[in-house]
């Protein structure tokens, strides 16, 4: 009975709905038509805007709406070919080094360079070349914290990227674990101050410092990869003071660092350290331009003191210097660079003198093809001037 009532009610509603359906759908159709119309209007409007945009983009656009955060990808890469006495001709990839820049207003910048390299067994290795957060404290002081290129000297921090270096290789003694410190993890203040006709630039830092590699009772190398832990608990402090004289286009710099460093054993876990000993670094550099000639040079040295408690108790010193002259023959976009340098170590057989020449074709100011020849000799050998690994190098470098 109840069910019957409900059924009738449903039927009644349904038939009403069927009766009114045409009316409802008619009004729905009207709404659809209306919204179609407004859609069409919107499409027309958009088309007009696109046409406008097309017109304005016909001229090049370099402008940007100013934003507070900026992102920029820079970096460099190089590929090449080497043929030397110890290498029967190999193609090779030098490195791919992208640099990431993030900047928030003129307050802070994050700069980081990664270094991708292919090793001898074909595997790719990645390293953080540097990673710092820089706070622009004021117009003359910037605080830099993290892993940075050593402020000691000039080649390592400012001239080693392959599109900048006018030779396919670093000067002898200026490579990794040689005479020039490479990286540091710590805190740094750097900046510039105008002083009448000259400009002063400076960098002062404190950091974890290097570790010392021991072999056969002697210190084999000072390692400065930018250690992320201060194993010996002793910091190294230093800096560089530079003067730039615009009128003479002359850059002069003097650097120094002092602190303590210890022999380590990185093969065990956790890494162990001996008692620390004195560590010092010093350098002078110059660079100038006259009549289109680019002349520069640098001397650098690192010393470690005695430590009676060490397996390698003696002091040791590594030093290197180079000088380079380069000239661009503008009409043919070709540059000729000549470099001479020497590297002195505690172990006579690793001492070197080096003469290098490179002929560079500038595809663009940041895209350089180099063909170089390097003559390496062990100085003061009885067997007069023993030649070691002279080589021919070809390199294509791109700074982007």
Partner 1 sequence: MKNSKSKNFIKILVTVVTLMFLMPLANAEDTWPVKGNFANGAKAWAENCTRCHNTRDPRELRDDQWITAVYHMRLRAGLTGQETRDIVTFMQMSN
Whether 73 and 100 have beta carbons less than 8 Å apart is answered as: yes
Residue 309 interacts with partner 1 (CB under 8 A): yes or no: no
* Pairing outcome for strands 211-215 and 250-265: parallel
Residue 287 interacts with ligand HEC (CB under 6 A): yes or no: no
Burial class (CB in 10 A: 0-12, 13-18, 19+), 125: exposed
Taking the least distance from each CB to ligand HEC, the nearer of 99 and 179 is 99
Q: What is the DSSP letter of 375?
A: E
- Reference 191, options 231, 146, 137; nearest CA is 137
Q: How far apart are CA 293 and CA 72, in angstroms?
A: 33
Residue 161 interacts with ligand HEC (CB under 6 A): yes or no: yes
Part in contact with ligand HEC (CB under 6 A); list of ranges 138-146, 157-165, 207-215, 318-326: 157-165
Taking the least distance from each CB to partner 1, the nearer of 85 and 139 is 139
Tokens of 10: 């449903």
**Residue 343 backbone phi and psi in degrees, to 5:** -135, 125
Total residues interacting with partner 1, rule: CB under 8 A: 62
Question: Considering only residues 44-103, where is the footprint of ligand HEC by CB under 6 A?
Answer: 74, 76, 99
Burial class (CB in 10 A: 0-12, 13-18, 19+), 209: buried
In the three-class reduction of DSSP (H, G, I as helix; E, B as strand; rest coil), residue 379 is classed as coil
Q: Which of 78, 82, 94, 113 binds ligand HEC (CB under 6 A)?
A: 113
Part in contact with partner 1 (CB under 8 A); list of ranges 209-217, 239-247, 300-308, 337-345: 239-247
Taking the least distance from each CB to ligand HEC, the nearer of 251 and 274 is 251
Interaction partner, residue 113 (partner 1, ligand HEC, none; CB < 5-8 Å by kind):
ligand HEC
Q: Which of 114, 128, 131, 164 binds partner 1 (CB under 8 A)?
A: 164
Whether 210 and 236 have beta carbons less than 8 Å apart is answered as: yes
Part in contact with partner 1 (CB under 8 A); list of ranges 27-35, 152-160, 337-345, 377-385: 152-160
Total residues interacting with ligand HEC, rule: CB under 6 A: 8
Burial class (CB in 10 A: 0-12, 13-18, 19+), 11: exposed
Q: How far apart are CA 283 and CA 121, in angstroms?
A: 36
Interaction partner, residue 142 (ligand HEC, partner 1, none; CB < 5-8 Å by kind):
partner 1
Contacts of 123 (CB under 8 A, 6+ apart): none
- E strand or H helix that includes residue 12: helix 2-57
Positions touching partner 1 (CB under 8 A) are 62-64, 66-68, 70-72, 74, 99, 101-103, 105-107, 109, 111, 134, 136-144, 157-159, 163-164, 187, 189-194, 199-203, 206, 233-235, 242, 244, 246, 249, 251, 287, 289, 362, 364-366, 399
What is the contact surface with ligand HEC in residues (CB under 6 A)?
Answer: 74, 76, 99, 113, 158, 161, 164, 399
């Amino acid at each position: 009975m109840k069910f019957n009532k409900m059924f009738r009610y449903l039927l009644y509603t349904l038939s009403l709905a069927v009766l009114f359906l045409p009316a409802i759908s008619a009004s729905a159709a009207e709404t659809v038509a209306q919204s179609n119309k407004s859609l069409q209007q919107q499409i027309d409007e958009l088309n007009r805007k696109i046409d406008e945009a097309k017109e304005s983009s016909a001229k090049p656009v370099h402008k940007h709406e100013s934003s507070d955060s900026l992102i920029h990808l820079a970096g460099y890469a190089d590929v090449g070919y080497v043929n030397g006495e110890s290498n029967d001709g190999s193609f090779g990839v030098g490195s791919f080094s992208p640099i990431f820049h993030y900047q928030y207003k003129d307050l802070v910048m994050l700069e980081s360079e990664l270094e991708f390299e292919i090793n001898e067994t074909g595997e790719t290795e990645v390293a953080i070349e540097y990673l710092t957060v820089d706070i622009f404290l004021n117009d003359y002081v910037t605080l830099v914290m993290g892993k940075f290129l050593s402020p000691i000297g000039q080649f390592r921090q400012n001239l080693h990227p392959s599109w900048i270096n006018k030779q396919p290789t670093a000067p002898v003694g200026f490579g990794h674990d040689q005479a020039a410190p490479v990286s540091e993890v710590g805190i740094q203040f750097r900046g510039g101050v105008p002083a009448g006709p000259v400009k002063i630039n400076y960098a002062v830092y404190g950091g974890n410092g290097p570790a010392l590699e021991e072999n056969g009772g002697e210190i084999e190398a000072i390692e400065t990869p930018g250690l992320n832990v201060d194993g010996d608990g002793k910091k190294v402090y230093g800096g560089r003071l530079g003067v730039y004289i615009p009128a003479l286009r002359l850059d002069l710099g003097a650097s120094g660092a002092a602190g303590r460093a210890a022999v380590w054993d990185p093969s065990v876990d956790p890494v162990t350290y001996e008692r620390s000993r004195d560590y010092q670094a010093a350098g002078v550099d110059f660079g100038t331009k006259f009549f289109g000639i680019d002349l520069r040079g640098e001397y650098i040295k690192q010393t470690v003191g005695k430590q009676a408690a060490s397996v390698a108790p003696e002091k040791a010193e590594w030093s290197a210097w180079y000088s380079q002259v380069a000239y661009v023959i503008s009409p043919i976009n070709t540059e000729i660079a000549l470099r001479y340098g020497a590297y002195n170590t505690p172990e006579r057989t690793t001492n070197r003198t080096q003469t290098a020449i490179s002929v560079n074709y500038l595809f663009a100011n940041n895209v350089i093809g180099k063909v170089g020849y390097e003559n390496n000799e062990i100085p003061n050998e009885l067997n007069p001037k023993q030649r070691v690994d002279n080589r021919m190098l070809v390199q294509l470098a791109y700074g982007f």
